[in-house]
Amino acid sequence: MKWVLPVIGLGVLGAAGWASYVTVQLARDPDAVLSSTRVNAAYIPWAAGAPLPRTAEGPNAANTVILPVGATLPEREPVVSGLPGYGRMTYLLPRDTRVSAGDVVLQFASEIPENVNATLRISLNGTRRAEVLLPAGRDTREVRIPLQDQDLALNSTQVTFAITGVSTTGVCSINTGNALVSLLPGSTVQARSASAPQSAADQYRLAGARAGVRWAGVTGDDSRATTTVLAVSNALRQGLNVSVLGSDAAADPAFITTAQTIAALTETFDAATARTQAKWPLQITDPAAGAARSFTGTQSWRYSFSADDLPDRRVPARLDYGLTLGPLGIDGLAPLPQGSDGWMVSVMLNGHLLDSFAAAEGSLRRSATIPPTLTGAVNQLEVTVGRGFGAEGICNDGPTLVAELASDSVLVPGSTTITGIADQLGQMTGNTPQLLTDGVARLTPPEAQAAARMLADLPFAPATAQGTHAPSATISVLQTSALPAAAPASAWVYVNDARDQFVMRLDDPALRSKLDDHAVALLIAAPATTH
C-alpha cells in the first residue's frame, strides 16, 4: 500500500525595488502541469491517531491513502509582490519514513494590472522548474511539479518564487509597475511512501514544523495545566514550534497531540538555541556570504545584537570598519573626476549618529567611537552609503551603484559592562527554580502560550516539585490583574510579549502603569529565610 503525505510548508517572503526586463514565457518545463481553473480545496484537520481517510483519485484509488493536514498559518502562505518580487517556502519531508515519489502542488491567486507583463518563475531546490505567464486581472491557478531523484534524496524541499516583468506604460525605469501573487492554503507537497508516518518527529515535520496541545482538557486542574505549560515551554526552549490551542482555534496545526508526546518529542531534538560563545572582536558581517551590494540611491548594512550576546558583558567602545566604494556618476554623463567626494557615509547605533562624512571612490578604513551609554538591552548598528547629489531629469532614480562593507569590520570592546535580561533572570532564579501550580488553569490559551514563552527564557527550566535541595527561587504564572499588591523586596516581575520585554521589582511604583498593556507575567521570588 502506498501512502500520500501532504506536507505543510514554511514561508518567507521579500521584495526588491530595482527594475528587471525579461521576456515573459509560458511554462516550459515538460513536467509542469498548468490549470487555469479555480481551486476549491477542502481541508480536514487531523489529530494524531485519527483514522486516515482514503481518496478516490488515481488508478489505484483503493490502495492509496492521503494523510490530510489542517489549514496553514497565514505566514506560511507567502504573498509575493513587486517587480521583481521574491518568496520561498520550505517543506520538511519525513526522516523516519522514507519518501519514494512526490509532487509539489502550488495553488496561487494572482492580481496583475492591465499595463504589466509578468511571469512567475518557480524553482525547486535551486533548479528552475516552471515559468508561468500571469494574465492581466485576477486569476487562480495550480502548478503541479513532480519531485526528481535529487529532490527525494533530501530531507526538505525548498520552493522559491520570482515575479519578473515590466510595465508597458512606465516612463522611468523605476516605474516598473506592480504584481501580486498569493500562495493559497492548498499548496503542499504530496510525498508518497510505502508506509504511514509513525514517529512524532515525522508527524511534526509533515505539519510544517508545528504542533499543538489542547488547553480545554486542563480546565480547573492546576497540576495538568502546569504540566502542559512546562511541556510547551521546554519544547520552545529547544527551538520547536509548539502552541497551546483553544477549542476554537482558527488555524490549528495538523499535528495536535498531548503534553506527554511533546515532552518525548523535545528529547529527540538538539537545542536549537545553543550557540557558540561569541568572542571579541565581534564581526558585523558574515565573511562567507560577502557584503557587496548593487543599488540605486542608498544602501544600508544592519547588525543587531542584544546585551546578552556580548562576550563577558562588556559593551562595544569602537567600530572599526572598511568600505569599498565603486564609481559614482550620473546616467548619460561622465563619471565624477577621480578623487571627488561624491559618496556620503553614515554610521548609527540605536538612532544615534556615530560617524558621517563624504568620501571618494575607492577603499577606506575608519573607526567610530561608541559612547558606552548608547548600548542597551537590544541594539541595531547601521552603516549607510549613498550618493551625495541628485540626478536631474524626469527619471531621478540615478545610476546603479556598487559598494561593499569589509568582511573584517568589527566591534571592539571597552571596559564598561552591561547586565542583560538573561543575566538578570539567571541571578534571580538560580539553577533550581520551582514553578508553583496555583492558578495556572485559570489562564486562557493565549495567556498559557505567553507564559510558556517566558518560562523558556529562564536559564534553567523550573521544576514543579521541590527536590532534595531548597528551590533557589519560586515562580508563579499570573494574570497581571492578579498580582499581589505587596510582597517581599526580593519579588520581581518578568514580562516578554509582542510589545515589550522587561524585569521590574514588584514594589516599583512605576510597575502598575507599565503593566497596563500586558495580560500575563511571571512573579519571581527568592525563598523566605528562617533564623
Check whether residue 441 and residue 517 sit in a common domain: yes
The tens digit of pLDDT for each residue in 487-517 reads 666 799 999 998 888 999 988 889 988 998 8
> Looking at the domain assignment, is residue 322 inside a domain?
yes
| Distance, CA of 450 to chain centre | 18
Check whether residue 486 and residue 515 sit in a common domain: yes
> Looking at the domain assignment, is residue 39 inside a domain?
no
The model's confidence at residue 33, banded by pLDDT at 50, 70 and 90, is very low
Q: Summarize the chain as % helix, strand, coil (round to 5).
A: 15, 40, 45
Which residue type, as a one-letter code, is found at position 284? I
| CA 401 vs CA 36, 296, 325, 362, 464: distances in Å | 41, 6, 9, 13, 59
**CA–CA distance, 463 with 473 (Å, rounded to integer):** 11
Is 70 exceeded by the pLDDT of residue 253? yes
Check whether residue 214 and residue 184 sit in a common domain: no
The tens digit of pLDDT for each residue in 286-335 reads 887 778 998 878 899 999 998 988 998 899 999 999 999 998 765 444 55
> Looking at the domain assignment, is residue 3 inside a domain?
no
> Looking at the domain assignment, is residue 379 inside a domain?
yes
The model's confidence at residue 6, banded by pLDDT at 50, 70 and 90, is low
> Looking at the domain assignment, is residue 199 inside a domain?
no
Is 70 exceeded by the pLDDT of residue 103? yes
Check whether residue 404 and residue 428 sit in a common domain: no
Is 90 exceeded by the pLDDT of residue 440? yes
> Minimal CA–CA distance to 120: which of 90, 149, 150, 140?
140
Which domain CATH number covers 312?
A: 2.60.120.260
Q: How crowded is the C-beta side of 480, counted as CA atoms within 13 Å?
A: 18
Check whether residue 311 and residue 220 sit in a common domain: no
**358 φ/ψ angles, rounded to the nearest 5 degrees:** -95, 145
> Looking at the domain assignment, is residue 173 inside a domain?
yes
Per DSSP, 237 falls in state H
Check whether residue 79 and residue 153 sit in a common domain: yes
Q: Where are the beta strands (DSSP E) in 79-126?
A: 79-81, 85-92, 101-112, 116-124
**CA–CA distance, 210 with 185 (Å, rounded to integer):** 15
> Looking at the domain assignment, is residue 101 inside a domain?
yes
Q: Which of 381, 408, 435 is the last residue of a domain?
A: 408
Is 80 exceeded by the pLDDT of residue 531? no
Give the residue numbers spanning the domain of 492: 421-525
Q: What is the pLDDT of residue 339?
A: 54
Count Cβ atoms within 10 A of the Cβ of residue 242 and give its class: 0-12 exposed, 13-18 middle, 19 or more buried: buried
Q: What is the pLDDT of residue 336?
A: 55
Check whether residue 65 and residue 189 sit in a common domain: yes
Is 50 exceeded by the pLDDT of residue 273? no
Check whether residue 365 and residue 449 sit in a common domain: no
Check whether residue 229 and residue 116 sit in a common domain: no
Is 50 exceeded by the pLDDT of residue 15? no
Q: What is the pLDDT of residue 301?
A: 96
Residue with the three cell numbers 497581571: 480
Query: What integer best gives the mean pLDDT of the chain?
Result: 79
For 453, the 3-state DSSP assignment is helix
Check if the beta carbon of residue 267 is closer than 8 Å to that of residue 238: no
Contacts of the segment 386-390: beta carbons below 8 A, 24+ positions apart: 386/297, 386/298, 386/299, 386/343, 386/344, 387/297, 387/328, 387/342, 387/343, 387/344, 388/341, 388/342, 388/343, 388/344, 388/358, 389/330, 389/342
Is 80 exceeded by the pLDDT of residue 77? no
The tens digit of pLDDT for each residue in 146-177 reads 999 999 999 888 888 899 888 777 666 555 66
Check whether residue 387 and residue 438 sit in a common domain: no
For 425, the 3-state DSSP assignment is helix
Check if the beta carbon of residue 445 is closer than 8 Å to that of residue 246: yes
Question: Count of domains in the chain?
Answer: 4
Is 50 exceeded by the pLDDT of residue 75? no
Is 70 exceeded by the pLDDT of residue 395? no
**CA–CA distance, 504 with 522 (Å, rounded to integer):** 11
Check whether residue 100 and residue 170 sit in a common domain: yes
The model's confidence at residue 45, banded by pLDDT at 50, 70 and 90, is very low
The model's confidence at residue 202, banded by pLDDT at 50, 70 and 90, is confident
Check whether residue 363 and residue 434 sit in a common domain: no
Mean pLDDT of 225-247: 92
Considering only 6-10, 94-98, 301-305, 310-314, which range has the smallest mean pLDDT?
Answer: 6-10
411: left (phi over 0), alpha (psi -120 to 50) or beta: beta
**CA–CA distance, 301 with 384 (Å, rounded to integer):** 6
Mean pLDDT of 67-74: 36
> Looking at the domain assignment, is residue 496 inside a domain?
yes
Is 50 exceeded by the pLDDT of residue 30? no
